[in-house]
Amino acid sequence: MIQFSKYQGLGNDFLILSISDQLYSKTFEALTPQKIIQLCDRRYGIGADGIILSLASNSTCDIRMKIYNSDGTEAEMCGNGIRCLVRYLFDNQLVGLHKELTVETLAGPIRTRINDDFTITVDMGRPVLIPSKIPTDLQINDEGIPSAVVKLDNEKHIIYSVGMGNPHLILYIKDINLVDVERWGRKLEFHSDFPLKTNVHFVQIKSRSKLDIKVWERGCGATLACGTGACACVVASKLLGYSDSNVLVHLPGGELKIKWQDKDSNIFMTGPAQYIFSGNFTSPQISVN
């Protein structure tokens, strides 16, 4: 039997499993892509956008995070997911207010801090703009951002790409309420210039300090929020001259505060994460007793 806790960050929800070293190998073997899909299914399973494993670090970090999308694929990092993990650790008295916690991820070590209002600030590191490291085959434009022109519904659109430890595609829209996120997101996720697929973000500029974004996540589909995506959109917007350094990003699930000065600076994301409920699951395929 495995115990889980469900958390959400702006409606982006995750099942968090805290696994000891003794149980890790058995749990990892049991969490097949098919089992992850089943657990994340909102009708036949518990329901979530992904599964997070809280593990002992392999390095000098305080904790290690492995995260799986709802389609069973492993992700490099997730901004909303890492906030949920840190809130989970706080709720279980494993970290206190103002204490800096470093999380080991496939995208590298990520520093975090819990604030007085229980929001969580995450040092997201520096954005990746070198195409081969995102990875993407898009070419860098005059503003220093990988970009290209695509045709959607017989209209030409410019797409941009920014890496945040995972790939992001950004497309600016005049009226975000008119976007067919399901159709366009699914098509762009598999764009041929992204060898590992990509997250897709539709952005409307509201002002120099506010962006509205709708999200299509790689391996998940339409979600209510994406932390790394919000950071990527602010980076693109600042480099294109659309926004300032401090931006409030409005997503369907809520708002994130993003701060980024320039190419030589790290990005800081601040937002909430909340506990939903706990439970346990078992099956002939997943039991580790």
From the number of C-beta atoms within 10 Å of its C-beta (0-12, 13-18, 19+), residue 161 rates as buried
The single-letter DSSP state of residue 92 is T
Q: What integer pLDDT is reported at residue 27 of this predicted model? A: 62
Which pLDDT value is given to residue 21?
55
The tens digit of pLDDT for each residue in 51-72 reads 999 998 888 999 999 999 999 9
Q: Are 34 and 285 in contact (CB under 8 A)?
A: no
Which CATH number, 3.10.310.10, 3.90.25.10, 3.90.79.10, 3.90.1010.10, labels domain 131-270? 3.10.310.10
Query: In 3-state terms, what secondary structure has residue 35?
Result: helix
Reference 267, options 242, 224, 225, 238; nearest CA is 238
Average pLDDT over residues 168-197: 96
Higher-confidence position of 58 and 269: 269
The residue extents of the domains of the chain are 2-119+273-281, 131-270
Q: What is the pLDDT of residue 20?
A: 63
In angstroms, the Cα distances linking 196 to 69, 91, 163, 189, 214 are 14, 35, 12, 9, 21
pLDDT at 282 over 80: no
Q: Which residues contact 189 (CB under 8 A, 6 or more apart)?
A: 197, 198, 199, 200, 216, 218
The candidate with the shortest Cα–Cα distance to 27, out of 37, 42, 17, is: 17
Tell me the per-residue pLDDT of 234-253, one tens digit each, with 9 for 90 and over: 999 999 999 999 999 999 99
What residues have CB less than 8 Å from 52, skipping those under 6 apart? 14, 15, 16, 17, 65, 66, 67, 68, 81, 84, 85
Residues annotated as catalytic are 78, 226
Rounded CA separation 34/37 (Å): 5
Kindly report the CATH number that applies to the domain delimited by 2-119+273-281.
3.10.310.10
Return the number of other C-beta atoms located less than 10 Å from residue 198's C-beta.
26
At 200, is the pLDDT very low, low, confident or very high (cuts 50, 70, 90)?
Answer: very high
Report residue 99's pLDDT band, with 50, 70 and 90 as the boundaries. Answer: confident
* Contact between residue 110 and residue 63 where contact means Cβ atoms under 8 Å apart: no
Angle at 48 between CA 36 and CA 58, to 5 degrees: 60
pLDDT attached to residue 248: 98
Cα distance between residue 42 and residue 53, in whole Å: 20
Buried-exposed string 240-274: b where 16+ CB fall within 10 A, e elsewhere: bebbeeebbbbbbbbbbebbbeeeeeebbbbbbbe
Query: How does DSSP assign 161-188, residue by residue?
Result: EEESSSEEEEEE-S-GGG--HHHHHHHH
Distance CA 129, CA 233 (A): 12
